[in-house]
Amino acid sequence: MAQQVLSRVLLPAKSSFEQVGSMMLLTAQTIVAAIRPPYPYGEELVGQFLFALKLCWFPLLVSTFVLCFGAPGLQAANALSLFGAMDRLGGFFVLAAIRQIGPIVTAVVVAGVAGTAITADLGARKIREELDALQVLGVDPVKNLVVPRFLALMLITGLLDAYALVFGLAGGILVELIYQQPLGGFFATLSSNASIADLWGSVVMCTLFGAIIAIVCCYKGMTATGGAAGVGRAVNQAVVISFLGVFAFLYVFTAVLLATNPELQAIR
Amino acid sequence: MIGWLDAPRGWLDSFGEIARFGARVAGLVYSGRVFGFFGESLRQAGILILGSALVIWVFVFILGLQCGILGAYLFRAQGAPGYAGLFSAWCDLREALPYAFGYILSAKVGTGIVAELGAMRISDEIDALEVMGIEPVTFLAATRLLAAWIAFPFIYLVGIAVMYSASWLAVVEQVGDVSSGGYLLIFWMFQNPPDLIYSLVKGMAMATVIVLVGCYYGYTARGGPVGVGAATAQSMVVNIILVHIVGMLGTVVFWGANPRAPIGG
């Protein structure tokens, strides 16, 4: 009985630790392969970048606009309109949209849209034994498949973040218009509260999110086994692990950023 | 330029198909046909609880910590650290929990259903069910929807408790500007039972949408292992958009014109 319980608890724990370890190894291999010449991955990098951009732009546009309109927009406007201080919504949007929701939604959309597509693609290649064939031909799959995806996702997540911020702020502007407020107050508190640390924090955080998502999705795709059900299962696990990884990292990053940059906490 | 618009147009097309399929499945549950397979529904509910509950709670816990530190630092800056409870009460219950639930459900449950049903579809098991005289939509899709309605309200309610304790940990133990009693006073002042019901309705609407989308993409998967992977990825895209839209509509309907806050008259 005790052994049964132990094996039910310990075996999954062991295998998940092994997976985390393998992902770390893949990260190290990817970084080394990215730096060490030759650089054969240029074309693939551009292709993957455009592929991710094509998949992500529309979900990201809808998601950020709608989320920023609802969550920080309407809820905060509820409280602020009680005090008659609707212009303060701009200051709140620095905290809500720039520091949190922009990166969160960008990560969720990139993981859910581009990450799943990468896992499905690599998983299908693994199942059809194309990856093994590449290795036989002397082509390194890490250098030629993982590195371009890793760099492309890092780049695109960071850049899409700026795009998410624009549409997030548009959600806030819509709330101001619904409450029939002049927009001057919104922009005044927005620009007086926004600091450069907010912006670089947001973009750097997103770039690192892209790295996490790319490694998890490539790893799950390249280790898919078991035919049709296997590819689907790999996609499922990839997106769950990316979400957990991204949000755990988000918490650590936000706590460190807020605790080490006291100027972010001043209300101006 | 045309190429960039193709994808959204395709999604609009499939949105109509999904709505039709979803209405059919919901009709099967409401008309009671699904109770012919009640045992299968209970089995699916068991799978949901054993397979997904822990992941959901871990995810919700992390977001609870996040809401906590944000609220603590926001109100420290205002010079009113005691009011951190206001932010975490609204952030936890009204927004973050439904969205967290929607995200992790579409990742874990939605894509899981697509992978499972898609594998059944391309290995012709769904056709085999039909040959055996079992209606596949009822047996595969309607039972899963009923299972979601049985299991998820309870998982959601426990998730609320998990999230509240995470926020308490972050505000009181991690940042530590306010005492536990002071935090909880404000925290409970800014929420009431109807808020809980609204939040639950929001979360369950997301769960329903996600299960239906998953069933649709799994049920209509084609094109071998590659097709299943592609369908799984595609379901995630649709789910992300729908989760956000349902969340926004919930906010507008429940709290749009009524702050439900004990401030002023």
Q: With an 8 Å Cβ cutoff, is A127 touching chain B?
A: yes
Specify the pLDDT at position B15: 84
Q: With an 8 Å Cβ cutoff, is B161 touching chain A?
A: no
Partner A, chain B 14-53, Cβ-Cβ below 8 Å: none
Please state the length of chain A: 268
Specify the pLDDT at position A235: 87
Residue A207 is encoded by which pair of tokens? 């770039």
**Cβ-based contacts of A267 with chain B (< 8 Å):** 77-78
Asked if B70 lies within 8 A of A100 by C-beta distance, the reply is yes
Asked if A79 lies within 8 A of B261 by C-beta distance, the reply is yes
The Cα of A163 is separated from the nearest Cα of chain B by a number of Å equal to 17
DSSP conformational letter for B223: S
**Mutate: best of A116, A178, A180, A250, partner B, most B CBs <10 A:** A116
Which of B230, B236, B250 minimises the CB distance to A112? B236
Which of B62, B78, B94 minimises the CB distance to A251? B62
Residue B142 is encoded by which pair of tokens? 């309607």
Contact B71, B84 (CB under 8 A): yes
DSSP conformational letter for B256: S
Residue A80 is encoded by which pair of tokens? 């602020």
Which of B123, B225, B260 minimises the CB distance to A127? B225
Q: For residue range A2-44, what is the model confidence (pLDDT) as tens digits? A: 788 778 778 878 888 898 899 999 999 999 998 888 888 888 8
CA triplet A234, A236, A238: central angle to 5 degrees?
65
Average pLDDT of the residues in B245-262: 86
Cβ-based neighbour number of residue A132 at 10 Å: 12
Please state the length of chain B: 265
**Where does the pLDDT of residue B7 fall: very low under 50, low under 70, confident under 90, or very high at 90 and above?**
low
Specify the pLDDT at position A231: 84
Contact B163, B71 (CB under 8 A): no
ipTM over 0.90: no
In the predicted structure, residue B107 carries a pLDDT above the cut 80: yes
Alpha helices by DSSP H, chain A: 2-35, 42-68, 75-83, 89-93, 102-109, 116-127, 130-136, 141, 147-178, 183-193, 196-222, 227-260
Q: How many CB pairs under 8 A join A and B?
A: 189
**How many whole angstroms separate alpha carbon B164 and alpha carbon B153?**
17
**How many whole angstroms separate alpha carbon A55 and alpha carbon A33?**
27
Q: With an 8 Å Cβ cutoff, is B69 touching chain A?
A: yes
Specify the pLDDT at position B97: 93
In the predicted structure, residue B202 carries a pLDDT above the cut 90: yes
Asked if B69 lies within 8 A of A251 by C-beta distance, the reply is yes
Q: For residue range A134-170, what is the model confidence (pLDDT) as tens digits? A: 999 988 888 889 999 999 999 999 999 998 999 999 9
**How many whole angstroms separate alpha carbon B216 and alpha carbon B18?**
6
Specify the pLDDT at position A150: 93
Q: Which residues does chain A have with pLDDT short of 70?
A: 228, 267-268
Asked if B228 lies within 8 A of A54 by C-beta distance, the reply is no
pLDDT winner (highest mean) among B189-193, B212-216, B230-234 = B212-216
Specify the pLDDT at position B12: 79
